[in-house]
Amino acid sequence: MELSTIAAIATPPGAGGIGIIKISGPEAVKIAGAVFRYQSNHTQPTTGKPTGTTAPEEHFFRSHHLYYGHIVDPATRQNIDEVLLSVMHAPRSYTREDVIEIQAHSGPAVLRAIFDLVLRLGARIAEPGEFTKRAYLNGRIDLTQAEAVIDIINARTDAALHAATNQVDGKLKTIVENIKKELSDLLVSIEASIDFPEDVEDILPTPKIIPKVQRCVVKSIEDLIQRYQAEHVYRDGLNLVIIGRPNVGKSSLMNCLVQKDRAIVTATPGTTRDLIEEGLQINGIPINIIDTAGLHDTNDPIEIIGIHKAEQRIDSANLVLLVVDAGEPLIADDVQIYKKHQEKNMILVVNKMDLVEDTNAFRLEVPKNWNGIAQARLSALYGEGIDTLKDLIVKNVTGDLRRIPDHSIIPNLRHENALKKCRDAVNSCLIGLQDNRPIELIAIDLQEALDWLDTIIGIKPSADVLDQIFSQFCIGK
């Protein structure tokens, strides 16, 4: 483990009430002692130089105490700012190193002046996520908990925050370690049967072991995989793109969903020529919704650019709302749009139902190959049917509208990939037991399953995995 001392401005740029500079490492307390002057009488000095203050020795700072004073440039004895300084001695800190946090006034100039002073005295600029990375490398948290920290920072809904908080508390780690224990116990029995082949039937009773592993291991792994598939949108969010030909009410639908006049709506076809994006939540799912230019053949160079941008966003969409006009039959442009994007996850939105005289008898004639597409009927102009569309969106991305998730644990994509590899290795092990394969080969499958579980919680992870995870962090965390 590198023994350098790192520092970072831990609060976002801009003016504000408080700005925090964080220092961690073996020189953190020494640096603090060099720049901090303790104000024993809690009075503000009236001159630019510190008066009535003391320069504390390192032993002066008690762990988990807050001190009032000033940051002073030791070279010029010039006051920089009035601050509160918090001290956390190793190992009772976020990184399990000595940690100093300087709470100053938030402003670019004052924070930069203090930060430059800290760097001048021996600290180096922290890399993104390096404080959390040190917490992981020093054994304070496992890799799932480290990943949950960035999930907390990025959480856009209560559901995402709840899941990330549970993961920080180690709930996913606990489940993975329970699965590991079951597999480790089995591996011990398998290795014992290798050493004592004459007692293999007593040591490794296959008829009893296989159901237990299926119940305690395979089912637990499958439950976690299903949680990712059903609930990852609560953390990762959803890119939803509204498409259709001009003048079918795409912008009206956008405004109705976000409940404000975000897009210009007129009776003139082709009003929207550029992408319009807005965020919203539906049942705890963070959604980035994009209104696009009407898709059709045109020679207008501005419309061509808008349509090209729309096609790019459609390619990266998680869900597409294809909007058609209930007031008239489908036309060739509607069919062409569907045909071009039929591989996408899609909901057919039949808009302008307010133009239909008899809604009970209404049937939109669609081509036979459209029969499997989910359909929502609504009037974006009057907001009728919007709740039904929202329910359909949630059902589409979670699989079952009736299932109310508790969001206690939501694995991420890295976890899901490792869990699938682990499940495959465990199933191969069980097949080997059923088919009486050589015990040595079964042990290899079992060790592979354990190795995949280790990658989840971060036992002997590759440098590439660590770099990928911690590069997502902001500087200062």
Which residues, 6+ apart, have CB-to-CB distance to 332 below 8 Å?
none
Q: Mean pLDDT lowest for which of 79-93, 263-277, 429-443? A: 263-277
Predicted confidence (pLDDT) at residue 45 exceeds the cutoff of 50: no
Mean of all residue pLDDT scores within the chain: 85
- What local confidence, expressed as pLDDT, does residue 48 receive? 40
Q: Which two tokens stand for residue 5?
A: 């001392």
> pLDDT at residue 140 above 90?
yes
Q: How far apart are CA 392 and CA 347, in angstroms?
A: 8
d(CA 202, CA 56): 69
Residue 270 has pLDDT above 70, yes or no: no
Percent pLDDT > 90 in the chain is: 45
Residue 460 falls in which region: left (phi positive, over 0), alpha (psi -120 to 50) or beta: left
Q: Where residue 308 falls among pLDDT bands split at 50, 70, 90? A: confident
pLDDT digits (tens, 9 = 90+) for 348-389: 999 999 998 888 888 888 888 887 889 999 999 899 999 999
User: Is 229 strand, coil or helix?
Assistant: helix
Question: Average pLDDT of 421-432?
Answer: 94
pLDDT of res. 437: 86
Q: What are the CA-CA distances from residue 351 to residues 208, 235, 358 (Å)?
A: 59, 30, 15
Contact by Cβ (8 Å): 43, 53 = no
pLDDT at 136: 93
Mean pLDDT for the stretch of residues 68-81 = 93
- Please report, rounded to a whole number, the percentage of residues in the chain having pLDDT higher than 70: 88
- Which pLDDT belongs to residue 314? 87
Say which residues have a Cβ less than 8 Å from residue 183's Cβ, sequence separation at least 6. 213, 217, 426, 446, 449, 450, 453
Dump pLDDT digits (tens) for 315-355. Answer: 888 999 999 999 888 999 999 999 999 899 999 999 999 99
Report the chain's terminal Cα–Cα distance, integer Å: 18
Q: What is the pLDDT of residue 31?
A: 95
Whether the CB-CB separation of 7 and 125 falls below 8 Å is answered with: yes
Q: Residue 59: what pLDDT?
A: 53
For residue 69, which of 36, 22, 46 has the smallest C-alpha distance? Answer: 36
Return the structure tokens found at 281: 């939540």
- CA nearest to 7, candidates 90, 95, 67: 95
Q: Which residue has the tokens 């300087």?
A: 102
CATH of 6-126, one of 3.30.70.260, 3.30.9.10, 3.30.1360.120, 3.10.180.10: 3.30.1360.120
Question: DSSP readout, 260-282?
Answer: S--S---SSTT---S-EEEEEEE
Q: Is the pLDDT of residue 274 over 80?
A: no
Measured CA to CA, the distance from residue 458 to residue 244 in angstroms comes to 46
What is the Cα–Cα distance from 21 to 114, expressed in whole angstroms?
8
Per-residue DSSP letter, 474: P
What is the band of 451 on the pLDDT scale with cuts at 50, 70, 90?
very high
Which of 58-67, 88-97, 231-240, 269-278 has the lowest average pLDDT?
Answer: 269-278
Question: What is the edge-to-edge ordering of all strands in the sheet holding 65-73?
Answer: 53-54, 36-39, 65-73, 78-88, 99-106, 16-24, 6-9, 124-125
pLDDT at 454 exceeding the cut of 80: yes
Contact 124, 474 (CB under 8 A): no
Does the pLDDT value for residue 284 go beyond 80? yes
pLDDT at 141: 92
Per-domain residue ranges of the chain = 6-126, 149-233+412-470, 237-398
Q: Identify the CATH class of 149-233+412-470.
A: mainly alpha
Classify residue 219 by burial, with Cβ atoms within 10 Å: 0-12, 13-18, 19+.
Answer: exposed
Count of CB atoms within 10 A of residue 465's CB? 13
Digit-coded pLDDT (tens) for 146-184: 999 988 988 888 888 888 898 898 899 999 999 999 999
pLDDT of residue 99: 97
Determine which of 12-26, 213-227, 400-414 has the lowest per-residue pLDDT on average. 400-414
CATH class for domain 237-398?
A: alpha beta
Q: How far is CA 87 from CA 23, 102, 460, in A?
A: 10, 9, 32
* pLDDT computed for residue 400 by the predictor: 58
